[in-house]
């Protein structure tokens, strides 16, 4: 069964009178249980593509089906429901709420889903256990390392049992060892049947996926035209490995 | 909702100084209004107490001129034609009225022609009452010295008298009045006791105006004689007055009106009529006057609330900008617009409600302070305090609306990218 299906997706941003095409005729499909990596340099449109897949943005034209449902032109209410129930996000900078404990952060989507408090905390706790942080449930994000923060963020993403896990540079802000840990967790989740779409510009990370697609200037291309050393890409992205980025 | 309130408190607590400064406008406004309202209420209570007395609930039904608003004074104007002595049937009918606890008929004169003498001491302008013992219990007089009248005083036409404290002081100048003989209009009267109002209630007076408002009916002193010897001092068949005690201050107007109506049945003189002084109406008139002046102060204090509300809006707008990424994240996690809207509305409402609570506290303190400094009476109203807190909450919701809508309409992508 096809989990994601994108047909002729175009996205154009208007900058004043100028129309800037960001995505051009993207067509791709992802099977249920697949583990896909999308690679591309900065400005290739990979974040925009992920926003569209994640229902944070709508395409200018084209069709987008998630589990068979056309989501290209849905209202905000329906898209919120899809984000809540079918999609889990993992961001490069974790985006945890700094004043809430790990457990409360993980339980947040359950709050939006209208789960009762007792149950909320139970489910959130088991999600934390799935990423190996059952013993850190009451720590604040400031008391956790970057890798642990990202694992909390993953627990938050899977707490609602989403159909698709979307990860945008999940290891971008982490050192190599923590990054490997994250990849192990992704691998385990995928083995459990979670469909994963991961965006990265590191070939080492993309290697973990079953399939890798390359994005260049808003178009899918067959392979990397010009392999670039990973270290240089890190600097280009402006992020420092191991840096803890949190919400204010 | 509970989660929202919890989050709001967390947010307020983490920005203590900012929250307090934001609340300041609300605190000041509510404090001002609470203290003003407490003072108004206190003044009103005082007016009521001053006029009604301490729980006496006694209404006097007296003869009034129909064409102008003064009592008919038998002492000056003579015995009127067409006003029969109130019959026992009428008196029984008065006693049978609803809300009537007791009643007494009595004679009364202010006699400026004759004075009371004790030795060389002389007291002019006394109010002389011809009463039975029912009068004292109805009007709440108690015997302070000597004895009250006994039935045989009345039946045996004994020339005895009771004096009130003012008369005792003025006429006897420190000597014990009991047993002394005083002279009035050629009649010797033996003083058997001193009476006084049970709860001697002194109206609180701060100005000369207060004095005229509360004391206009008072005279230099009172002397009571048995009703039966009245004709020997003055004349037969003088019109009687009625004192009637109602069971509550609220019933006073009604009881007074009904009693006056009963007493008017036999009156054929068109120029005078029995009428009860409507104390409650006087109270209301005076209260309305004091309310009218103070209401303007409330409007002025409300401006502070408006300014406070705008301050809340300002801070909420800053807060929305500050937390743009948090809003973006929550939207990405599936939070609906309405949830973001409610989160910020709740925060604004909690902030201003807290301000309202603090304002009520400050207002109570301020009211106490005002009463200490100016001697003005203060009465606190709990329902009004609740209203003030609810009103502060409404201000929060009103002025939090714009920032909340702004937050709810943020685009999640832009919000997540916001630095």
Cα atoms in the Cβ-side hemisphere of radius 13 Å centred on A6? 24
Best mutation target among A49, A76, A157 (most B Cβ atoms within 10 Å) is A76
Residues of A in contact with B3 (CB under 8 A): 111, 117
Partner B contacted by A80 (CB < 8 A): yes
DSSP secondary structure string, A140-168?
Answer: -GGGS-HHHHHHHHHHHHHTT--SEEEEE
Report the residue from B14, B322, B335 with minimal CB separation from A112: B335
So what's the architecture of A34-51+77-237 in CATH? 3-Layer(aba) Sandwich (3.40)
The stretch B186-211 carries a mean pLDDT of: 71
Q: DSSP strand E in chain A: where?
A: 2-15, 18-31, 35-39, 61-66, 69-70, 87-90, 164-168, 195-200, 211-216, 219-221
Q: Which residue has the higher pLDDT, A37 or B284?
A: A37
Partner A contacted by B409 (CB < 8 A): no
Distance of CA B97 to the CA centre of its chain: 26
Give the span between the Cα atoms of B361 and B354, in whole angstroms: 11
Between helix B16-52 and helix B279-322 the angle, nearest 10°, is 180
Smallest CA–CA distance, residue A59 to chain B, in Å, is 13
What are the domain boundaries of chain B?
2-49+286-417, 68-270
CB pairs under 8 A between A and B: 61
pLDDT of residue A231: 47
Residue B294 has pLDDT above 60, yes or no: yes
pLDDT of residue B214: 55
Partner B contacted by A99 (CB < 8 A): yes
The CA–CA distances, whole Å, from B250 to B55, B58, B95, B213 equal 11, 11, 18, 20
Q: Which of residues 309-328 of B touch A (CB under 8 A)?
A: 322-323, 325-326
Q: Do A112 and B323 touch (CB under 8 A)?
A: no
pLDDT of residue A83: 92
Give the span between the Cα atoms of B46 and B296, in whole angstroms: 21
Partner A contacted by B15 (CB < 8 A): no
* pLDDT band for position B404 (cuts 50, 70, 90): very high
pLDDT tens, B346-393? 999 999 999 999 999 999 999 889 888 877 778 888 888 999 999 999
Residues of A in contact with B412 (CB under 8 A): 56
Residues of B in contact with A247 (CB under 8 A): 323, 325-326, 329
What are the backbone angles phi and psi of residue B161, rounded to the nearest 5°? -150, 150
Partner A contacted by B337 (CB < 8 A): yes
Partner A contacted by B266 (CB < 8 A): no
Give the span between the Cα atoms of B349 and B132, in whole angstroms: 66
pLDDT of residue B206: 58
Cα atoms in the Cβ-side hemisphere of radius 13 Å centred on A241? 13
Residue A18 has pLDDT above 60, yes or no: yes
pLDDT of residue A138: 94
The stretch A96-105 carries a mean pLDDT of: 91
pLDDT of residue A239: 46
- Of the listed ranges B69-78, B170-179, B265-274, B303-312, the least confidently predicted one is B69-78
Residues of B in contact with A163 (CB under 8 A): none
Smallest CA–CA distance, residue B322 to chain A, in Å, is 8
Structure tokens at B101: 């606890």
Give the span between the Cα atoms of B141 and B32, in whole angstroms: 43
What are the domain boundaries of chain A?
34-51+77-237
The stretch B227-254 carries a mean pLDDT of: 85
Q: Which residue has the higher pLDDT, A124 or B378?
A: A124
Residues of A in contact with B335 (CB under 8 A): 80, 84, 112
Residue B342 has pLDDT above 80, yes or no: yes
Q: Do B334 and A111 touch (CB under 8 A)?
A: no
What percent of chain A lies above the pLDDT cut of 70?
Answer: 90
Residue A238 has pLDDT above 90, yes or no: no
Q: Do B329 and A247 touch (CB under 8 A)?
A: yes
pLDDT of residue A235: 44
pLDDT of residue A129: 93
Residue A229 has pLDDT above 80, yes or no: no
pLDDT tens, B98-117? 888 888 999 988 877 788 88
Q: Please tell me the total number of residues recorded for chain A in this structure.
A: 248
- On average, the pLDDT of chain B sits at 84
Give the span between the Cα atoms of B106 and B241, in whole angstroms: 5
pLDDT tens, B216-229? 444 568 899 998 89
């Amino acid at each position: 069964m096809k989990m994601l299906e994108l047909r002729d997706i175009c996205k154009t941003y208007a900058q004043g009178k100028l129309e800037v095409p960001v995505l051009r005729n993207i067509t791709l499909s992802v099977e249920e249980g697949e583990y896909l990596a999308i690679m591309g340099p900065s400005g290739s449109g990979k974040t925009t593509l992920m926003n569209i897949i994640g229902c944070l943005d709508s395409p200018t034209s084209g069709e987008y089906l998630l589990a068979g449902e056309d989501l290209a032109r849905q209202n905000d209410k329906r898209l919120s429901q899809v984000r809540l129930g079918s999609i889990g996000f993992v961001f490069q900078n974790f985006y945890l709420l700094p004043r809430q404990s790990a457990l409360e952060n993980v339980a947040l989507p359950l709050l939006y889903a209208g789960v009762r408090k007792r149950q909320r905390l139970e489910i959130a706790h088991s999600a934390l256990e799935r990423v190996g942080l059952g013993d850190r449930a009451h720590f604040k994000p400031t008391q956790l390392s970057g890798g642990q923060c990202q694992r909390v963020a993953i627990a938050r993403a899977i707490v609602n049992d989403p159909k698709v896990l979307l990860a945008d540079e999940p290891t971008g802000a982490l050192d190599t060892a923590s990054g490997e840990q994250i990849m192990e967790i992704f691998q385990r989740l995928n083995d459990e049947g979670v469909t994963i779409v991961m965006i990265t510009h590191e070939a080492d990370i993309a290697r973990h996926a079953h399939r890798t697609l390359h994005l260049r200037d808003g178009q899918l291309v067959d392979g990397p035209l010009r392999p670039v050393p990973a270290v240089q890409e890190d600097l280009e992205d402006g992020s420092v490995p191991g840096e803890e980025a949190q919400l204010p | 909702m509970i989660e929202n309130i919890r989050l709001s408190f967390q947010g307020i607590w983490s920005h203590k100084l900012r929250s307090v400064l934001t609340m300041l406008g609300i605190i000041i406004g509510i404090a001002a209004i609470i203290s003003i309202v407490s003072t108004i209420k206190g003044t009103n209570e005082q007016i009521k107490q001053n006029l009604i007395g301490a729980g006496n609930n006694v209404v006097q039904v007296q003869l009034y001129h129909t064409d102008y608003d003064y009592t008919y004074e038998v002492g000056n104007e003579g015995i009127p034609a067409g006003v029969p002595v109130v019959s026992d049937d009428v008196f029984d009918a008065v006693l049978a009225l609803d809300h009537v606890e007791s009643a007494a008929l009595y004679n009364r004169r202010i006699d400026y022609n004759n004075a009371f003498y004790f030795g060389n001491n002389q007291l002019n302008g006394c109010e002389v009452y011809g009463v039975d013992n029912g009068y004292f219990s109805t009007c709440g007089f108690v015997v302070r010295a000597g004895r009250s009248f006994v039935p045989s005083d009345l039946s045996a036409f004994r020339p005895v008298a009771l004096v009130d404290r003012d008369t005792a002081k003025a006429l006897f100048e420190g000597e014990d009045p009991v047993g002394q003989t005083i002279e009035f209009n050629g009649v010797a009267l033996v003083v058997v006791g001193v009476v006084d109002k049970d709860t001697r209630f002194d109206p609180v007076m701060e100005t000369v105006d207060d004095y005229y408002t509360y004391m206009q009916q008072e005279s230099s002193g009172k002397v009571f004689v048995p009703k039966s010897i009245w004709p020997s001092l003055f004349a037969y068949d003088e019109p009687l007055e009625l004192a009637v005690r109602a069971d509550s201050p609220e019933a006073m107007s009604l009881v007074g009106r009904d009693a006056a109506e009963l007493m008017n049945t036999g009156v054929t003189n068109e120029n005078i009529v029995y009428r009860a002084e409507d104390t409650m109406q006087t109270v209301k008139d005076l209260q309305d006057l004091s309310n009218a002046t103070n209401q303007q102060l409330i409007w002025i204090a409300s401006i502070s609330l408006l300014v406070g509300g705008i301050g809340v809006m300002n801070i909420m707008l800053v807060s929305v900008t500050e937390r743009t990424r948090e809003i973006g994240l929550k939207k990405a996690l599936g939070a609906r617009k309405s949830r973001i809207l409610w989160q910020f509305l709740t925060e604004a409402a909690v902030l201003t409600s807290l301000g309202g609570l603090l304002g009520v506290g400050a207002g109570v303190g301020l009211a106490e302070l005002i009463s200490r400094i100016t001697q003005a009476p203060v009465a606190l109203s709990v329902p009004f305090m609740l209203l003030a807190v609810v009103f502060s909450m409404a201000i929060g919701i009103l002025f939090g609306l714009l920032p909340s809508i702004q937050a709810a309409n943020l685009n999640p992508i832009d919000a997540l990218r916001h630095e």
